[in-house]
């Protein structure tokens, strides 16, 4: 069980009041708050052992390099990857997708080859593919999402063909909480193609125990800042055989074996993909965040998310005038997007802020799906380990007060 009151004591930000009310933070889908343990781990590097990694033979550099590379191993264990060599540090999920889009298409895909996404993807899993599709004359297809905000498996199957080379899907939707049935999807993908299968884990990894070997996928991306870590650090996990095949996207120091005036050779994986000085302090912060989550236990984190989701679904679903966008499946993320006819999402978000309640308004980087639904914007509440039923009760009360004023 998670003791939310005790957990909140680890987060300095919850000492704040907003507009004379206790802070109710319901925007962890955008970024999570940071516990003192993460802040201290990063501060310790800067104040006690700061030095560039992989470059020095002196004590400070050796200490920081060891701490940095230890995080790679923590990430490996956290997602049950076969080897820490398969863990590539990036600046975040968006950076990871840009890396994958370039690395997996250049010299590997030809004109007319196809990439398959879903209608409910975050822009980070759309725009990088659009860029390479234009560059290499590729085609992008989109799997339909049904009225329950679930990926349509029949449509998925019908859109996979011999030209499908890359399939990239959300592991947990940042708008509807949808958690696709990856066992079924993986079965369809493997039966009908030899496509590279990628999962966007930005919302999935912070909330659920992830086993990349059991998932049967080829690549996974995720961000540190959505799982209690700092901004500027993320991870791409990929199968070693595929990583060894693809070429670097970024060039510079630290990713080379040898450099000549007319050529160069690359360092082994994962370093051949990490050019220049890496975000080593941010990586160490991510390692501290993983330690924090593992102390709680990811099974407990997942159970807490499911319990809050079930409570919130009933609570919010019964508010008059609120249209809820949320998966109807038995298991989904604690993510609730909402709108009200005749009232703009931004107005509701601003009103909620007057009660100290932080939610997000807009299209949440899922603009094409909003357009499909005929909605300009929604406001979204997302929960994490420092939220409880009282926070959702505050949201309900705040919504009802706001609606009285705005309607």
What is the tens place of the pLDDT at every residue in 144-195?
Answer: 999 999 999 999 999 999 999 999 999 999 999 999 999 999 999 999 999 9
Question: Residue 156 corresponds to which tokens in the numbers above?
Answer: 């998925």
Count other C-beta atoms under 10 Å from residue 396's C-beta: 15
Contact present, 107 and 80 (Cβ < 8 Å): no
Query: What whole-number distance in Å separates Cα of residue 130 and Cα of residue 125?
Result: 9
pLDDT at 328: 92
Task: Provide CB contacts within 8 A for 345, sequence distance 6+.
Answer: 338, 339, 361, 362, 376, 377, 378, 379
Query: What whole-number distance in Å separates Cα of residue 6 and Cα of residue 386?
Result: 9
Q: Which of 75, 334, 365, 383 is catalytic?
A: 365
Look at domain 4-30+298-401 and name its CATH class: alpha beta
Bridge partners, residue 361, by sequence: 379
Q: Is the pLDDT of residue 272 over 90?
A: yes
pLDDT at 137: 97
Query: What whole-number distance in Å separates Cα of residue 169 and Cα of residue 200?
Result: 6
Question: Residue 270 corresponds to which tokens in the numbers above?
Answer: 């994962």
Count other C-beta atoms under 10 Å from residue 294's C-beta: 13
Express each pLDDT in 351-395 by its tens digit: 999 999 999 999 999 999 999 999 999 999 999 999 999 999 999
The b-or-e profile of 65-97 (16+ CB within 10 A means b, else e) is bebbeebbebbbebbebeebbbbbbbbbbbbbb
Q: Is the pLDDT of residue 55 over 90?
A: no
Instruction: Tell me what the mean pLDDT of segment 247-274 comes to.
Output: 96
Q: Is 365 a catalytic residue?
A: yes
The b-or-e profile of 247-263 (16+ CB within 10 A means b, else e) is ebeeeeebbbeeeeeee
Instruction: Tell me what the mean pLDDT of segment 28-38 comes to.
Output: 98
Express each pLDDT in 73-114 by its tens digit: 999 999 999 999 999 999 999 999 999 999 999 989 999 999
Q: How far is CA 133 from CA 112, 194, 226, 318, in A?
A: 9, 19, 29, 44
Contact present, 81 and 212 (Cβ < 8 Å): yes
3-state class of 362 per DSSP?
A: strand
The CATH number given to 39-294 is 3.40.640.10
**What does DSSP assign to residue 176?**
T
Instruction: Tell me what the mean pLDDT of segment 125-151 comes to.
Output: 97
Crossing angle of helices 298-317 and 280-296, in 10° steps, is 80
Contact present, 170 and 332 (Cβ < 8 Å): no
Express each pLDDT in 282-315 by its tens digit: 999 999 999 999 999 999 999 999 999 999 999 9
Task: Provide CB contacts within 8 A for 65, sequence distance 6+.
Answer: 53, 54, 56
Contact present, 101 and 128 (Cβ < 8 Å): yes
Bridge partners, residue 382, by sequence: 27, 335
The DSSP element (H or E) to which 400 belongs, if any, is helix 389-406
pLDDT band for position 341 (cuts 50, 70, 90): confident
Query: For 115, left (φ over 0), alpha (ψ -120 to 50), or beta?
Result: beta
pLDDT at 140: 98
Question: Residue 350 corresponds to which tokens in the numbers above?
Answer: 């601003």
**What does DSSP assign to residue 164?**
E
Question: Residue 344 corresponds to which tokens in the numbers above?
Answer: 């703009």
Q: Is the pLDDT of residue 121 over 90?
A: yes
Contact present, 301 and 251 (Cβ < 8 Å): no
CA 293 to chain centre: 16
Reference 30, options 375, 359, 395, 366; nearest CA is 359
Instruction: Tell me what the mean pLDDT of segment 113-133 comes to.
Output: 98
Contact present, 395 and 357 (Cβ < 8 Å): yes
Question: Residue 124 corresponds to which tokens in the numbers above?
Answer: 């980070």
- The ranges assigned to domains in the chain are 4-30+298-401, 39-294
- Whether this model's pTM surpasses 0.85: yes
pLDDT at 406: 86
Query: What whole-number distance in Å separates Cα of residue 349 and Cα of residue 182?
Result: 34
Across all residues in the chain, what is the average pLDDT? 96
Query: What whole-number distance in Å separates Cα of residue 98 and Cα of residue 90?
Result: 10
The DSSP element (H or E) to which 87 belongs, if any, is strand 87-90
């Amino acid at each position: 069980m998670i003791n939310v009151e005790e957990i909140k004591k680890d987060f300095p930000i919850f000492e704040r009041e907003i507009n004379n009310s206790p802070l109710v933070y319901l925007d962890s889908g955008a970024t999570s708050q940071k516990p003192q343990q993460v802040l201290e781990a990063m501060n310790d590097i800067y104040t006690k052992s700061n030095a560039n990694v992989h470059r020095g033979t002196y004590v400070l550099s050796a200490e920081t390099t060891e701490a940095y590379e230890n995080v790679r191993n923590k990430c490996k264990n956290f997602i049950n990857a076969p080897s820490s060599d398969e863990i590539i540090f990036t600046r975040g999920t968006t950076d990871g997708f840009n890396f994958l889009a370039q690395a997996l298409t250049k010299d590997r895909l030809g004109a007319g080859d196809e990439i398959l996404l879903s209608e409910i993807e975050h822009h980070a899993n759309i725009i990088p593919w659009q860029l390479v599709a234009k560059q290499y004359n590729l085609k992008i297809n989109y799997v339909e999402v049904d009225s329950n905000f679930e990926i349509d498996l029949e449509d998925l199957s019908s859109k996979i063909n011999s030209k499908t080379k890359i399939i990239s899907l959300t592991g947990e939707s940042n708008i509807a909480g949808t958690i696709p049935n990856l066992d079924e999807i993986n079965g369809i993908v493997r039966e009908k193609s030899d496509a590279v299968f990628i999962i966007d884990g930005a919302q999935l990894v912070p909330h659920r125990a992830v086993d990349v070997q059991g998932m049967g996928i080829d690549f996974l991306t995720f961000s540190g800042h959505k799982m209690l870590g700092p901004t500027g650090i993320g991870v791409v996990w990929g199968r070693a055989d595929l990583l060894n095949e693809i070429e670097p996207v970024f060039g510079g120091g630290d990713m080379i074996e040898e450099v000549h005036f007319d050529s160069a050779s690359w360092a082994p994986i994962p370093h051949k993909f990490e050019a220049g000085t890496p975000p080593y302090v941010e990586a160490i912060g991510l390692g501290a965040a993983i330690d924090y989550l593992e102390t709680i236990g990811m099974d407990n984190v997942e159970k807490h998310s499911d319990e809050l989701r079930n409570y919130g679904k009933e609570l919010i679903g019964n508010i008059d005038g609120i249209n809820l966008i949320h998966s109807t499946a038995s298991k989904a993320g604690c993510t609730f997007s909402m709108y009200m006819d005749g009232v703009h999402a931004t107005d509701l978000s601003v009103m909620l802020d007057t009660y100290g309640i932080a939610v997000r308004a807009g299209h949440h980087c899922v603009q094409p799906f909003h357009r499909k639904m005929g909605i300009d914007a929604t406001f979204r509440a997302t929960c994490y380990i420092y939220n409880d039923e009282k926070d959702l009760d505050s949201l309900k009360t705040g919504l009802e007060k706001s609606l009285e004023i705005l309607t």
